[in-house]
Amino acid sequence: MFRADRGRKHLNDQERASIIAFTECGKTVAFISERLGISGSTVSRWQTRYRETGEVIRQRGSGRPKKMTPADEDNIVQVIAAKPITTAQEIAGKLNIKNSINYN
């Protein structure tokens, strides 16, 4: 029903809310999984999370925070769009990026 784009990693708000709505109506994990096109383990995980927290909001992901701003990312895209075959050294030189990576 919802999963037309299989490339996405996370469920959207509507998908998570649908899982809970079906659960509240007494539907099984297998029914919800088949109906929404979502893995049964994912359905079960969201049911458990909802029972424990009462919310369907995603938790903050782990990992190192980004060091680049959206403006930095846009600048890199512009440099690459202007010259598609661009080395990391050329990009860093054009944007004055300083890092500890040695490209030699």
Instruction: Give the tens place of pLDDT for each residue, 17-31.
Output: 999 999 999 999 999
The CA distance from 69 to 4, in Å, is 31
From the number of C-beta atoms within 10 Å of its C-beta (0-12, 13-18, 19+), residue 61 rates as exposed
The predicted structure's pLDDT at residue 4: 57
Residue 100 has pLDDT above 50, yes or no: no
Q: Check: CB of residue 2 under 8 Å from CB of residue 36.
A: yes
Helix or strand holding residue 82 (H, E): helix 70-82
The CA distance from 27 to 1, in Å, is 16
